[in-house]
Structures are given as structure tokens and as C-alpha cells.
Amino acid sequence: MKHLVLVCAVGMSSSILVNRMIRIAEKKELEVMIHASGMGDLASFIDEAHLLLISPQIHYMEEKIKQKYPRIPVVSLSAKDYAEMDGEKVLMKGLRIISEN
């Protein structure tokens, strides 16, 4: 099972996108776990994470996160993808990145 974590400043806005991603994963019968996390809670999810998706609000922290968690791919979502809240697009992009690593 693949585990994606969508990280934003506090985890509030990302939870909307995560809920949409979960609905798509269930519809497609994909074996994935998807969580929204604020920076302060990230350590709770990091051990199982296969990918960290960074929201545009904390894009400036991408390099710091990559250095702190070098074994996990870290990808910043574009402002457009995040604003559109297209759960399918973000989920499929995330799964593609995991399969490439």
C-alpha cells in the first residue's frame, strides 16, 4: 500500500484536496493511504510515507523538507493544481512519482 502525505502550513486547506483524492482512490479501488498534515504534525506520518506533496503555501520550505527526509520524494504542487482541488489529477501524479522512484 502506498502512502501519500499532503503537507501544508496547518493541514486545514489540504484536507479538502485529500478528501477528494480519497474518493477517487476508493472509486478506482486503489490501495493507497492519503493524509493531510500540517508541518507540526508531519513527524506522525513520516515513517510510512512514500511521497510528500507540498502545498503552494509552504513551497519555500521544499528544500528544507527534502534535507530533513532524504529517503522520501518531496514534490511541490503547482498553485494551479492546488487551487483546482482536482483530486484525481493530484493522486495520479503522486502515484506516478512513487512508481518512478
* Catalytic residue ranges: 8
DSSP string, 62-80: HHHHHHH-TTS-EEEPPHH
Asked whether 21 and 84 are in contact (CB, 8 A), the reply is no
In whole angstroms, what is the distance from residue 90 CA to residue 101 CA? Answer: 17
Which residue(s) pair with 35 in the sheet? 5
For the purposes of burial, counting CB atoms within 10 Å of the CB of 60, is it exposed (0-12), middle (13-18) or buried (19 or more)? exposed
